[in-house]
């Protein structure tokens, strides 16, 4: 039975949205506590109209806690997660610390909800760029299979945290005023610019962000045969990641049939009418929980290709919403099992 929950990192960009979602979706719990590093401990926050004091992360803070939703840096997660699991809690981890560990399920509820059955106290939520892509892939994968994916991402500075957002604002203002600006969150100016590197150099010229999309997608689908060629780019859009995706399917699929698959899939909003200039854009996906798909067209350069455009709020579905949906899966599973 999940009764007592804890939120770790509640004051961060993603953690604050987790709180909004827990309230909006009326997530069931008996008690809730908020945990953070020593720097934030002692501060207060308001949740459901009540004032709560943030407690410092420590082993004893997880005593009698059933469920933890955490959004922290990797190193923080690696430190505290064993404390929670040893005391019987299930940890939903939004960091990258546990995603590729063999014994840890990597879950997107619309794609592989059954994976939570194999958890050993930790369930990982994928990288934001992976999450929206696999949701968009799922109905096509189930219908005709997917052999190859070519994806280019257009990722917002919010993916680099509050500091990334602020640098876009401050850098833009400085640029407009003809002043120089010292960027810290990014290696190059993000205002009026594109940066074709997210993460460190990882493998054969691919970055860590790009390789996350490769490894995480294969793990989520349980299919090591999917070939993926990603290019990840930071763009000067405050929030919401966009992706240009080309799928090579194992069997032929007409565009109209693909359109129907997207239209009828839970978690996807189809916006696909080029004649009326209707297609997904970050400005419309902002603060929404769905993955938006449009610009569907046949690949005219080869057989069995489907090209489309995909947009999603990286702080919500890419992080906070996915974690809360995993928590809801756990609650529903317990209710179904009668435990």
- Structural domains in the chain (count): 2
Q: Residue 107's domain is classified under what CATH number?
A: 3.40.50.720
**Residues sharing a CB contact under 8 Å with residue 143, sequence separation 6 or more, in sequence order:** 253, 257, 261
Residue ranges making up the domain that contains 28: 4-126+319-337
Our answer to whether residue 175 is catalytic in this structure is: no
pLDDT in tens, 163-196: 999 999 999 999 999 999 999 999 999 999 999 9
How many whole angstroms separate alpha carbon 205 and alpha carbon 218?
20
Classify residue 242 by its DSSP letter. E
Do residue 194 and residue 329 come from a single domain?
no
Do residue 278 and residue 158 come from a single domain?
yes
Do residue 155 and residue 298 come from a single domain?
yes
pLDDT mean over 84-99: 97
Do residue 32 and residue 79 come from a single domain?
yes
Do residue 61 and residue 180 come from a single domain?
no
pLDDT in tens, 293-323: 999 999 999 999 999 999 999 999 999 999 9
Instruction: Supply the mean pLDDT for the chain.
Output: 95
Residue 255 reports pLDDT greater than 70: yes
Annotated catalytic residue within 98, 119, 232, 241:
241
Do residue 197 and residue 110 come from a single domain?
no
- The encoded tokens of residue 118 equal 């194999």
- DSSP letters of 100-158? T-TTS-B--TTT-GGGGGG-SSEEE---HHHHHHHHHHHHHHHHH-EEEEEEEEEE-GG
Annotated catalytic residue within 128, 232, 240, 310:
128
Our answer to whether residue 232 is catalytic in this structure is: no
Do residue 120 and residue 173 come from a single domain?
no
- DSSP letters of 268-337? EEE--BGGGTB---HHHHTT--SEEEEEEEE-TTSTTEEEEEEEE-TTIIIIIHHHHHHHHHHHHHHHHH
pLDDT in tens, 116-156: 998 999 999 999 999 999 999 999 999 999 999 999 999 99
């Amino acid at each position: 039975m999940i009764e007592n929950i804890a939120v770790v990192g509640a004051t961060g960009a993603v953690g604050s949205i987790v709180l909004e979602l827990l309230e909006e979706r009326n997530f069931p719990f008996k008690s809730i506590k908020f945990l953070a590093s020593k720097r934030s401990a002692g501060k207060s926050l308001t949740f459901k109209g009540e004032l709560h004091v943030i407690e410092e992360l420590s082993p004893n803070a997880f005593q009698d806690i059933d469920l933890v939703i955490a959004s922290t840096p990797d190193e923080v997660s690696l430190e505290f997660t064993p404390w929670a699991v040893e005391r019987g809690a299930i940890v939903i981890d939004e960091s990258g610390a546990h995603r590729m560990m063999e014994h840890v399920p990597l879950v997107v509820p619309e794609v592989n909800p059954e994976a939570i059955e194999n958890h050993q106290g930790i369930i990982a939520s994928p990288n934001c760029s992976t999450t929206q892509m696999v949701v968009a892939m799922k109905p096509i994968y189930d219908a005709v299979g997917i052999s190859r994916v070519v994806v280019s991402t257009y990722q917002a500075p919010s993916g680099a945290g509050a500091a990334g957002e602020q640098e876009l604002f401050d850098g833009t203002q400085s640029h407009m005023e003809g002043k120089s600006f010292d960027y810290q969150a990014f290696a190059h100016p993000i205002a009026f610019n594109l940066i074709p590197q997210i993460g460190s150099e990882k493998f054969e010229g691919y970055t860590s962000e790009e390789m996350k999309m490769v490894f995480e997608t294969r793990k989520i689908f349980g299919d090591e045969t999917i070939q993926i060629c990603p290019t990840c780019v930071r763009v000067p859009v405050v929030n919401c990641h966009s992706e240009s995706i080309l799928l090579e399917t194992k069997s032929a699929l007409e565009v109209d049939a693909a359109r129907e698959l997207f239209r009828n899939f839970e978690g996807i909003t189809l916006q696909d009418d080029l004649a009326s200039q209707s297609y997904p854009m970050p400005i419309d996906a902002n603060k929404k929980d769905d993955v938006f798909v449009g610009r569907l067209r046949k690949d005219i350069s080869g057989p069995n290709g489907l090209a489309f455009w995909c947009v999603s709020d990286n702080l919500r579905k890419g992080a906070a919403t996915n974690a809360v949906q995993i928590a809801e899966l756990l609650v529903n599973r317990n209710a179904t099992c009668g435990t």
